[in-house]
Chains A and B, each alone.
Chain A
């Protein structure tokens, strides 16, 4: 748990901003807190929020978040062997897996269960708590889009994407995704271009990764 403390400010700030944006865009305070408590993955939560805010359909909001979170399959596989106990216990404890707890648990060259669970628990409490706090202050914003919150979403996704783009394959796939999104935007309803752009990840079939890598920590 102590290992999580240096990283504590980030989930607090993210949780606050998620709560503020969720409330400001009409997502609803209670729904935001429930989503933080069940989904517990910031990027995907922001993604579905922004798709709905941009007028996208429910299906597009769901798919965008699910595609973003699919990386947790790969991440959970890397730590699968460190979970002790029966199925129910493993199901419960696997929910402590987030980018940050995963990165912390693996920083000594092998994955350590106490760090994963301890830091995951700390991040969970901070994330859900700060989401609730954010929704409480979110109500003071009157016209969110006049404040440039739509651009803030774009900045968030850009910052989250940057760590991945050090890899050439990821850069090519991301460039293809950008082209697909731009080309489809004038012709399809909101949300559809994003989902179509996910096809760019199929570039991975042609050239498999040399070494298995999973999501990068956010900071």
Chain B
């Protein structure tokens, strides 16, 4: 059915356009924010230091976000918790990290083990 195909094609094109523009929004906003964060000390704050409460909240942001990302990348599904090959791969990477492997090695282990389990399963 040509009409149906054409409609599907238009939807696909629309999706691609959406993805492209959303990528550029991310690149622009994150870039501007990061430039501002790095300049904040030397430009605005000078020799003063951050209030202790603000400092400790900011200190905790990085580990909190990183672990939240680990959880979603390992168990995240389409609005559900999924236990699949990724868990095995990330577990293997955890062992590699525990054995003091380089981050790149840990990433390679995770990718290889996950891919392997997907082939078997």
Q: Which residues of A contact B (CB under 8 A)?
A: 10, 13-14, 17, 26-28, 31, 34-35, 38-41, 43-45, 47-48, 50-52, 54-55, 58, 61-62, 64-81, 83, 87, 90-91, 93-95, 97, 146-162, 164-165, 169-170, 173-178, 180-182, 185-190, 193-194, 197-198, 200-205, 207-209, 212-215, 218-219
Give every chain A residue within 8 A of B75 (Cβ-Cβ).
182, 185
Q: Which residues of B contact A (CB under 8 A)?
A: 19-20, 22-27, 29-35, 37-43, 45-50, 52-53, 55-81, 85-86, 89-90, 93-94, 96-97, 102-104, 106-116, 118
Q: List 30 A-B contacts (CB under 8 A).
A: A17-B107, A38-B31, A41-B34, A44-B30, A48-B26, A66-B34, A68-B65, A69-B37, A73-B58, A74-B55, A76-B41, A90-B42, A148-B85, A151-B89, A151-B90, A155-B93, A155-B110, A157-B67, A158-B94, A159-B93, A160-B66, A161-B63, A161-B67, A170-B59, A173-B63, A174-B66, A178-B68, A178-B70, A180-B68, A197-B71
A72–B30 touching, CB < 8 Å: no
Known: A80-B41, A173-B64, A209-B52. 9 other contacts (CB 8 A): A67-B61, A148-B86, A151-B90, A151-B111, A152-B93, A156-B103, A158-B70, A159-B103, A207-B56
A68, A146, A158 interface centre (most CB from chain B within 10 Å):
A158
B65–A67 touching, CB < 8 Å: yes
Complex CA gap A205/B51 in Å reads 11
Give every chain A residue within 8 A of B103 (Cβ-Cβ).
10, 14, 155-156, 159-160, 218-219
Complex CA gap A187/B109 in Å reads 31
B80–A28 touching, CB < 8 Å: no
Complex CA gap A36/B3 in Å reads 42
Contacts A76-B39, A151-B114, A156-B107 given: A215-B97 contact, CB under 8 Å? no
Q: Nearest Cβ in chain A — how far from B12, in angstroms?
A: 13
Complex CA gap A186/B80 in Å reads 4
Contacts A67-B65, A186-B81 given: A201-B57 contact, CB under 8 Å? yes
Contacts A72-B38, A73-B50, A153-B69 given: A52-B22 contact, CB under 8 Å? yes
A152–B111 touching, CB < 8 Å: yes
Taking a contact as CB atoms closer than 8 A, the residue among A43, A75, A150, A188 that contacts B66 in the complex is: A43
Which 4 A-B pairs have CB atoms at the shortest separation, nearest pair first?
A148-B114, A76-B41, A38-B31, A155-B93
A209–B59 touching, CB < 8 Å: yes
Give every chain A residue within 8 A of B107 (Cβ-Cβ).
17, 152, 155-156, 159
Contacts A70-B61, A185-B81, A200-B60 given: A77-B97 contact, CB under 8 Å? no
